[in-house]
Amino acid sequence: MKKIIKWTLILGGFFLVMVISALLIIPAFVDVGKYKPVIEKKIAEATGRPFILGGDLDLSLFPWAGISFSDLHLGNPPGFEEKDFLSIKSFEARVKLLPLFSKKIQVKCFVLEGPRIVMERNKEGRGNWEGMGKTPPAVSDKAPHDTKDVSTGKSGQAFPINAIDVTKFSVTNGKFLWIDHIKGERNEASNLTLILEDVSLDRPVSLNFSALLDGKSISLAGKVGPIGKEPGKGDIPLDLVIKVLKQLEISLRGKITNAASEKRFDLAVGIAPFSPRKLLAGLGQTFTITTANPRVMNLLSLNAGLVGDSQNLSISDGTLELDESKLDFSVKIRDFSQPKLSFDLKLNKIDLDQYLPPAPDRRKKSGGGDSTGKISPSQGKKTDYQALRRLVLDGIVRVGEFKVGGARMEDLYLKLSGKNGRFDLNPLTLKLYHGDISLRGVLDVRQNLPRSNTDIHLKGIKVSPLLQDLMEKDFLEGVLEGNLVIGTTGDDAEKIKASLNGKGDIFLKDGALVGIDLVQMIRNIKTSFSPADKGEELPRTDFGQFHLPFSIIDGIFTTTKTSLKSQLFRLQVEGSADLVKEALDFRVEPKFLAIPPKEENLKKRSEIMIPLRVTGTFSAPKFTPDLKGMLKKSIETGLSDPSKFKEMFRSLRKDKKELKSKEEKDEVSHSPDLL
């Protein structure tokens, strides 16, 4: 028995020595280079395109199984601009042979120098990557046999490698070229470099990638892993930094869990402060956003924590800084197919006017455009609200300081909630020019046309600074209060205006009309309607309260009991405004309650009221004395002295003619100043 074991070991050792000797001796005596024509022919037949191996070909078998070659070219088929689809300057790979029997890969080196890949689409729309190789065999309709992991006994296939150890892995001086002759595009990535260090299944892999995209530098560096002996299962740590043009730096730290199944991730994302304008300029791109202030969009940064999987996402501890604005935010999205969105946004301040397009020059006449009021073809398109109907929403927005359209607001608080196509804004509150606004509203998109209802409360708002900031006009002073209930239907401006319905009560207390002196109207109609000369103080009418009750029915604004009260007089207003046609039709009638003893002339003139007609359009209102109404009222009430009325009538007509002559001479209209 001992002899059998002895001779078995001797024979086994002999065969092992013979195999090792063969692996060492054969490559030394066999000229692998003479097989190059055969190799080139076989690869050309397999790919269906020219293949050339112009440099040396080297083969080794023990202790490292390796191959090296140089000057490889895989050509393009006819009809393409570039000669080669793939070319490689040199390649070398060395793998230790014996550990392969125990499913362990030990790579001494994997070095690829000067790879060049060209992806080209010709004018006929064909890509050079199409039709490579023979037609694959038909896939059987039968389901594949289930396999089991031998280590766990569970369904699935075990990872065929127990260990990986790579001493050197590098791809250097690579190039990728994309050419599209149909679109006239040509993009190039050059100086491609990828270096991996300490490659293993149970240790973090150091990664360093860099390239030039159309001459612009990008890089990716950091560590990934360990990925474990069962890639796709368990946690894979990440610590990566991406840099673009040395201006944009993005950090990504965290882990990916069960990438092959759950695809969960827990990452911290950070974008260091950078200038979007400078970044796009460095990339040779035009900054397409036109802003009123060209100095904005020069500072942007982001930090946030991302946790989620293929169906859910949670963003926490988010901070976004844009120029002088800082947004703290958190967002949760559950079930992307039927999204349930909740958020909490807190913004310190923002001036939206800086980010909006520059305001058009009002002095220039608008060219083109449809002035007929007809709905353009784009307005006729139906909007699909299915996404909103599936959305479940619950969020809060807070803004410290806010500016838009010139108006400044503070302490904005907004709460949004909704589901099944109905959304509640309950409430929206903010501070506006020493006053407060509270708003509650509903948006309903369950039908084809959206419907909205809004309940607004105003309290203690100073009107003069608001109008100066909003319209650059100074024609009204006072403290604004009121309640409004407004409802609309539609999804474009014309439909919304035509369907506008509601009512309201607005009060303006301790105010003044700037640009109109109603007392002077009685004294002298000519001067009361003439604009003040440059440097002169504008005329004004002080009042104690202005009350505006109104109703809106299908876009027609109507008021019958609007009044303005002061110690000296009372003003009654009635009429309507067509919000669709933007047409005005109001009658303003003053009435003096008390005449100072020294104002004898005023007393005489006030015996006949001088109503005011406001007609025209929103953009070009017209203010004229209502002589017809004045005459009618005087006849109805009776005149104590008809001769005085005739004399005053002549005076009024004379004043009106002089006023018209002055306007034509100066080519100045006072109407915009009143508005």
**What is the Cα Rg of the chain in Å?**
41
Distance separating alpha carbons of residues 525 and 519, to the nearest angstrom:
10
In contact, 74 and 51? CB cutoff 8 Å = yes
Q: Give pLDDT tens digits for 422-472.
A: 999 989 999 999 999 999 999 999 988 899 999 999 999 999 999 898 888
- Which band of pLDDT confidence, cut at 50, 70 and 90, is reported for residue 632? low
586 and 656, same domain (yes or no): yes
Residue 242 lies inside a defined structural domain of this protein? yes
CA 232, 238, 244, 250 torsion: positive or negative?
positive
Q: Examine the pLDDT at 231 and tell me if it is beyond 90.
A: no
For residue 644, pLDDT over 80 is answered with no
611 and 489, same domain (yes or no): yes
Please report whether residue 413 resides in a domain: no
283 φ, ψ to 5°? Answer: -85, 0
Residue 337's pLDDT is 83
As a whole number of angstroms, the distance between CA 396 and CA 159 comes to 48
In a domain, 462, yes or no: no
Strand partners of residue 458: 437, 482
3-state secondary structure 7-20: HHHHHHHHHHHHHH
Q: Which two tokens stand for residue 650?
A: 């002549």
Residues 561 and 665 reside in one and the same domain: yes
Task: Report residue 585's pLDDT band, with 50, 70 and 90 as the boundaries.
Answer: very high
Rounded distance, CA 326 to CA 350, Å?
Answer: 8
pLDDT confidence tier of residue 594, bands split at 50, 70 and 90: low
Distance CA 482, CA 416 (A): 24
Are 604 and 592 within 8 A, CB to CB?
A: no
Residue with the bigger pLDDT between 640 and 575: it is 575
Boundary (domain end) residue, out of 330, 358, 386: 358
Residue numbers of the domain that contains 542: 473-674
Instruction: Supply the pTM of this predicted model.
Output: 0.73
Q: How confident is the model at residue 131 (pLDDT cuts 50, 70, 90)?
A: confident
Distance CA 171, CA 335 (A): 41
411 lies in some domain: no
Confidence category of residue 41, pLDDT binned at 50, 70, 90: confident
Q: Which of 334, 456, 349, 468 shows the shortest CA–CA distance to 411?
A: 349
Question: Span 517-536, mean pLDDT?
Answer: 54
Residues in a beta bridge with 439? 428, 456
CA distances from 367 to 270, 362, 371 (A): 46, 12, 10
And the tokens for 152?
A: 């766990």
Q: Return the closest-CA partner of residue 81 out of 124, 22, 41, 48.
A: 124
Q: Are residues 642 and 573 in the same domain?
A: yes
278 in any annotated domain: yes
Rounded distance, CA 207 to CA 198, Å? Answer: 9
Listed range (162-166, 192-196, 630-634) with the worst mean pLDDT: 630-634
- Is residue 323's pLDDT more than 80? yes
Tokens 């020019």 correspond to: 433
Cβ distance 659 to 652 under 8 Å? Answer: no
Work out the average pLDDT over 212-238.
86
| Of residues 514, 539, 521, 531, the one with CA closest to residue 630 | 521
pLDDT at 152: 44
User: Is pLDDT at 370 greater than 90 in this prediction?
Assistant: no
Sign of CA dihedral 43, 50, 83, 67: positive
Contacts of 44-47 with CB under 8 Å at 24 or more apart are: 46/133, 46/134, 47/74, 47/132, 47/133
Average pLDDT over residues 483-502: 90
322 Cβ contact partners less than 8 Å away, ≥ 6 residues apart: 297, 299, 300, 350
Helix (H, G, I), strand (E, B) or coil at 357: coil
Which SS3 state, helix, strand or coil, does residue 401 take?
strand
| Contact between 341 and 392 (Cβ < 8 Å) | yes
Mean pLDDT across the chain, nearest whole number?
A: 79
Same domain membership, residue 244 and residue 190: no
CA–CA gap between residue 284 and residue 575 (Å, rounded): 59
Are residues 669 and 580 both part of a single domain?
yes
Give the end of a domain, one of 231, 265, 291.
231
Residue 301 shares a structural domain with residue 192: no
Residue 457 placed within a domain: no
With H, G, I as helix, E, B as strand and everything else as coil, classify residue 500.
coil
* Residues 331 and 244 reside in one and the same domain: yes
The amino acid occupying position 181 is H
Label residues 430-446 b or e (16+ Cβ within 10 Å = b).
bbbbebebebbbbbbbe
Average pLDDT estimate for 278-294: 85
| Helix, strand and coil in the chain, % to nearest 5 | 20, 45, 35
Tokens standing for residue 168: 């050197």
* Statement to judge: residues 221 and 237 lie in one domain: no
> Are 41 and 171 within one domain?
yes
* 63 and 103 together in one domain: yes
What mean pLDDT comes out for the span 273-300? Answer: 88
640 part of a folded domain = yes
Q: 19: Cβ–Cβ under 8 A, 6 or more apart, which residues?
A: none
Per-residue confidence (pLDDT) for residue 624, from 0 to 100: 82
Q: CA triplet 188, 191, 192: central angle to 5 degrees?
A: 85
Q: Under the phi-then-psi rule, with left for phi > 0, alpha for psi from -120 to 50, and beta for the rest, what region is 353? A: alpha
Residue whose entry in the numeric block shows the structure tokens 């067509």: 578
Residue type, 438: S
How many Cβ atoms are within 10 Å of 614's Cβ, its own excluded?
19
d(CA 322, CA 652): 61
**Vertex 552: Cα angle to 548 and 556 (nearest 5):** 110
Domain count, the chain: 3
Is there a domain that residue 566 lies in?
yes
**What is the per-residue pLDDT across 199-213, written as a single tens digit (0 to 9) for each?**
888 889 889 999 998
Given pLDDT bands bounded at 50, 70 and 90, which one contains residue 486? Answer: very high
CB 174 within 8 A of CB 192: yes
- Collapsing DSSP states into helix, strand and coil, what is residue 463? helix
Distance separating alpha carbons of residues 411 and 249, to the nearest angstrom: 34
Of 596 and 553, the structure prediction assigns the larger pLDDT to 553
Domain final position from 358, 390, 411: 358
What ranges in 231-297 are assigned the alpha helix state H? 276-282
Sequence-separated (6 or more) residues with CB below 8 Å from residue 513: 475, 476, 540, 541, 543, 564
The CB density around residue 102, as the number of other CB atoms within 10 Å, is 8
pLDDT at 634 over 70: no
Same domain flag for 163 and 59: yes
